[in-house]
Copies of this chain bind each other. A is one copy, B any other.
Amino acid sequence: MKTPVPTGPVDVGHLRIACSSCSLRELCLPAGIDTREMERVDRLVNRRRKLKRGEHLYRAGAPLAALYAIRSGFMKSCVLHDDGREQVAGFHMMGELLGMDAISSSRHMCDTVALEDSEVCEIPFGYLEQLSRELPSLQQQLHRIMSREIVRDYGVMLLLGSMKAEERLAAFLLNLSQRFTARGYSGTEFNLRMTREEIGSYLGLKLETISRVLSRFQQDGLIVARHKHIRIRDPEALRRLISQQRQ
């Protein structure tokens, strides 16, 4: 037995699933799609899914069913090692596309978890491939997004492989700042959705180191950090920190 219609205010949301009227469309999969084609893209996304904080969107090993576009909220992806080690591979926010790790083997290769209550649009992958054969601009955008993920990963490698703790954290804060700005939020004042431990995992550092470096940044007047709230006071100084000449 199916539940055809969810109850309550959710209904309204369901009636309105349409990329064409989504404020994120220029950040997301439909970027660059023209209005004639948009109608068909609208039909691609036929379901939204709400996640409570802490809930998994998918787990490593789960079969690929759909890609997911984040509509609201904040998520993290973690790669796991057999021995239980886990590493945060990325933090994700509105407009970003998740699940591309699963395409190669038809199984997800990481866990993705909501860090706050979130909502995602489900994009059935088979339909997406089919439609992107018919709409070149959709195909191109999909390729661009996958490529962007590869480039992002290269950046993380550079960070993990050749930066010191302060540089890593400066790069992390500036990256968050830039992404908030791109979404119309303040890039100088925001709340971290993740713990120090999660930041540390992402940056290849321990939580104590994150805490210490944040304190040092604050002492030096670069930021104000109170719990999860961050205010960036001197973005230029942070930038200098990253690209300062090695000896």
Q: Could you name 27 residue pairs across A and B whose Cβ atoms are closer than 8 Å?
A: A81-B162, A83-B243, A84-B245, A85-B162, A85-B246, A87-B158, A87-B162, A89-B157, A100-B146, A102-B147, A103-B144, A103-B146, A104-B144, A104-B151, A132-B133, A133-B134, A133-B139, A143-B146, A146-B147, A146-B150, A150-B150, A150-B153, A153-B153, A157-B160, A160-B204, A161-B201, A162-B204
Query: Is B154's CB under 8 angstroms from A101's CB?
Result: yes
A156 at interface, CB cutoff 8 A:
yes
- A59: min CB distance to chain B, Å: 15
- Give the residues in chain B near A221, CB-CB below 8 Å: none
Query: Is A110's CB under 8 angstroms from B154's CB?
Result: yes
| CB closest chain-B residue, reference A244 | B83
- Give the residues in chain B near A156, CB-CB below 8 Å: 153, 157
| Cβ < 8 Å to B, chain A residues 120-157 | 129, 132-134, 136, 139-140, 143-151, 153-157
Question: Of B81, B147, B155, B201, which contacts A79 at CB under 8 A?
Answer: B155
- Give the residues in chain B near A103, CB-CB below 8 Å: 143-144, 146-147
A binding-site residues for B, Cβ under 8 Å: 79, 81-85, 87, 89, 100-105, 109-110, 129, 132-134, 136, 139-140, 143-151, 153-158, 160-162, 201-204, 243-246
Query: Is B150's CB under 8 angstroms from A139's CB?
Result: no
- Give the residues in chain B near A145, CB-CB below 8 Å: 104
- Give the residues in chain B near A110, CB-CB below 8 Å: 154
Query: Is B158's CB under 8 angstroms from A157's CB?
Result: no
Query: Is B246's CB under 8 angstroms from A83's CB?
Result: yes
Query: Is B109's CB under 8 angstroms from A161's CB?
Result: no
- Give the residues in chain B near A82, CB-CB below 8 Å: 243
| CB closest chain-B residue, reference A200 | B161
- Give the residues in chain B near A105, CB-CB below 8 Å: 151
The 7 A-B pairs with the shortest beta carbon distances in the complex, nearest first, are A103-B147, A153-B153, A161-B204, A160-B160, A104-B147, A104-B148, A146-B146
- Give the residues in chain B near A162, CB-CB below 8 Å: 81, 85, 87, 201, 204
Query: Is B133's CB under 8 angstroms from A129's CB?
Result: no
| CB closest chain-B residue, reference A102 | B147
Docked Cα-Cα span, A245 to B243, in Å, equals 37
